[in-house]
A and B are shown apart, each in its own frame.
Chain A
Amino acid sequence: MIAFGEIIHVSLRSLRANKMRSALTTLGIVIGVAAVVAMFAIGTGANRKVAAQMASMGSNLLVVRSGSVTSGGARMGGGATPSLSFADAEAIVKECPAVGKAAPTESRTVQIIYGNLNWSTRAEGTTPPMLDIRNWTIGSGRSFNNSEVRSAAKVCLLGQTVADNLFGDEDPLGKVVRVKKVPMVVVGVLGKKGTNAMGQDQDDTLIIPITTAQKRIFGSRHQGKVSSVLVQAADSNSIPAAIEQIEVLLTERHRIRTDEDKDFSVMNLAELMEAAAESTKTLSFLLAAVASISLLVGGIGIMNIMLVSVTERTREIGIRMAVGARTPDILLQFLAEAVILSVLGGLTGIALGALISVLISHFAGWTTVISPLSIGLAFGFSALVGIFFGYYPASKAAALDPIEALRYE
């Protein structure tokens, strides 16, 4: 058998002799591989983005919400009347071992005024643990503390967007803003978080003590009660336990009989986000299916052209056999041609796919990540396609009878 390097050399020569046809033959593989690479880049990018959003939302997050309340036979809608007290929030932390932190929260849209500028934003009344639960960082200044919550102090934390819009380059720390005519001291600015899964700007926010919010700003009718409590489970494995413990605790605290509807519900936000991630996964599988079909079609294209090529070059095969080529020499020559075609197609496809993902992230603004895994996968698959679809034409060439092949016109 002749050396491997010689076979590659001979195959390359034949491919060069038919440049146009070789280029067209690879087209199917180019498109298939480009699709695989671009699809992986988009899929990986989407997954990373979801993961980042989950992290920014807070990990192991549960939300306890007020449920329907029956008042004189009329059932009110969920959250119509806040049924969760500050004490409930404290009790959840104290009495549920699977719970790490909990914070009552209530929010309204408010107008903030500083000097001659004003800005409308969502004000969230809460307690200090909320910052940890939602993964907020303090960009500058400090958070408010528990004693400020108890005394309903007029202090606030600004989100980046609010700080930028009201203060521009000015340092907001220690400045007084007015929220619904109530003057409040800015004690800190939050670190930047970006948009959430729904595309909302999470930095467009104002965080104030829950007591201040209810007493001085929102003018809530149900002082000391909120419609939702944010809860962070101790870790990701204790989420189901935390849900059960909270349900048992609140059922008991709210004195709900077994035949009554609960006046609260516990939502697992991590689960919702995972469902969203799951749907991107489904989408990538769908795209992978499309990509593998185009690879398959590309492979069939190679097989087709190789079969034509074997027929066309019957005489060449006859000559090679007459001067001493053995069956494996011919087989490997044609197999190498098919593999070179598909690998060249694969490399071109990788470059094209990378270009497409760069263009997509540039123009559509999607996050795309070109992973080495996807490149390796695309390259490996194109080589496999070459071997798989090149084998049949090559074995047909090798099985030719030298006498018949020499006589072929």
Chain B
Amino acid sequence: MTLINLSGIRKTYFLGEISVEALRGVSLSIEPGEFVAVMGPSGSGKSTLMNILGCLDTPTEGTYTLDGQDVSRLGQDELAVIRNRHIGFVFQGFNLLPRTSALENVELPMLYKGVSRHERRQRAAEALVRVGLGGREHHQPHQLSGGQQQRVAIARALVNESPLILADEPTGNLDTRTSAEIMDFLSELNRTAGITVVLVTHEPDIARFSRRVIMVRDGLVVSDRHPDEEGTTA
């Protein structure tokens, strides 16, 4: 079953009397287990697309089916449940809660899912081990390096067993070597656990880790390529 299906997605922002069309009819589908990079210059509408894919926003027109459920007309609280169960976020700025231990940061999605405290503790600790941060459960974000903070964020994205990870410029705040580590790790999750990864980036080096690149410009998908396959045909 197709994981993500966008059909005729339009998003128009009304700023007083001016209306801005951020997305002007985007249709695409993503199958489970894909590793997709969404690229485009700033102002192309890729952030808007990301917000809609992440169920943080709803389209003005068109339908978005996530995991078989039409989510394009849901309200805030219903979207919150969808995000909680189906989507793990990894942000550029890590977005961990300050003055809160790594363990509790990872527990957060389970808190809103209603998982018992004991089980939360256990599963969060396991997720931290999985991202290679075993033994750092009680470190607070400011005591961790950028790469480690991003690993905590990945553990948080994994912990509710969401089928989809949305990574918005996940390496934007990291140096080249750490960036490669994080991307390797995301690739590995994609390969071994079958988690679908949708990555937003403007760096071609980072996009290279994916197996499919969607280019967005002026609110439209301008190209949708599979670089590996092209490589073989060329």
Q: Interface of A with B (CB < 8 Å)?
A: 2-3, 6, 10, 13, 17, 315-316, 318-329, 402-403, 406
Contacts and interface: CB of A to CB of B under 8 A. Distances in A.
A323 B76 contact: no
B91 interface: yes
Nearest to B113: A324
Contact of A326 (B81, B85, B117, B160): B81
B114 interface: yes
B156 interface: yes
Given A323-B84, A324-B83, A327-B76, 10 more contacts: A3-B114, A6-B111, A13-B104, A319-B96, A319-B97, A319-B108, A320-B108, A322-B89, A324-B160, A327-B77
A356 to B, nearest CB: 36
Contacts of A402: 56
A406 B94 CA distance: 11
Contacts of A406: 56, 91, 95
Given A323-B89, A324-B80, A329 B112 contact: yes
Interface string B76-110: 11001101110001010001111110001000110
B97 A324 contact: no
B99 to A, nearest CB: 5
B119 to A, nearest CB: 13
A324 B51 CA distance: 14
Contacts of B51: 403
A327 B77 CA distance: 6
Contacts of B109: 323-324
15 contacts: A2-B112, A2-B114, A13-B104, A319-B95, A321-B80, A323-B83, A324-B80, A324-B84, A324-B109, A325-B112, A327-B77, A329-B112, A403-B51, A406-B91, A406-B95
Nearest to B51: A403
A183 to B, nearest CB: 89
Nearest to B91: A406
A403 B112 contact: no
Given A402-B56, A403-B56, A403-B57, A326 B112 contact: yes
A323 B85 CA distance: 9
Nearest to A323: B109
A-B pairs with lowest CB-CB distance, top 9 = A324-B84, A324-B112, A323-B109, A326-B77, A326-B80, A17-B99, A319-B95, A325-B112, A402-B56
Interface residues on B, range: 20 to 34
Contacts of B100: 13, 17
Contacts, number: 62
A184 B85 CA distance: 101
A326 B78 CA distance: 8
Nearest to A398: B76
Contacts of A324: 80-81, 83-85, 109, 112-113, 160
Given A403-B56, A406-B91, A323 B108 contact: yes
Contacts of A319: 95-97, 108
Given A2-B112, A329-B112, A323 B99 contact: no
A329 B83 CA distance: 15
Contact of B83 (A6, A17, A322): A322
B137 to A, nearest CB: 16
Interface string B177-221: 000000000000000000000000000000000000000000000
B123 to A, nearest CB: 14
Given A321-B80, A323-B83, A323-B109, A316 B56 contact: no
Contacts of A327: 76-77, 80
Nearest to B104: A13
B188 to A, nearest CB: 23
A403 B166 CA distance: 14
Contacts of B85: 324
Contacts of A17: 99-100
B122 to A, nearest CB: 16
Contacts of B97: 316, 319
A298 to B, nearest CB: 26
Nearest to B114: A2
B56 A322 contact: yes
Contacts of B77: 326-328
A321 B77 CA distance: 9
Nearest to A3: B114
A328 B81 CA distance: 13
Contacts of B111: 2, 6, 10
A322 B113 contact: no
Given A322-B56, A326-B81, A315 B95 contact: yes
A322 B95 contact: yes
Most buried by A among B56, B57, B109: B56
Interface string B19-57: 000000000000000000000000000000001001011
A408 to B, nearest CB: 11
Contacts of A320: 108, 112
A197 B98 CA distance: 63
Contacts of B76: 326-327
B158 to A, nearest CB: 12
B5 to A, nearest CB: 22
Nearest to B48: A403
B36 to A, nearest CB: 20
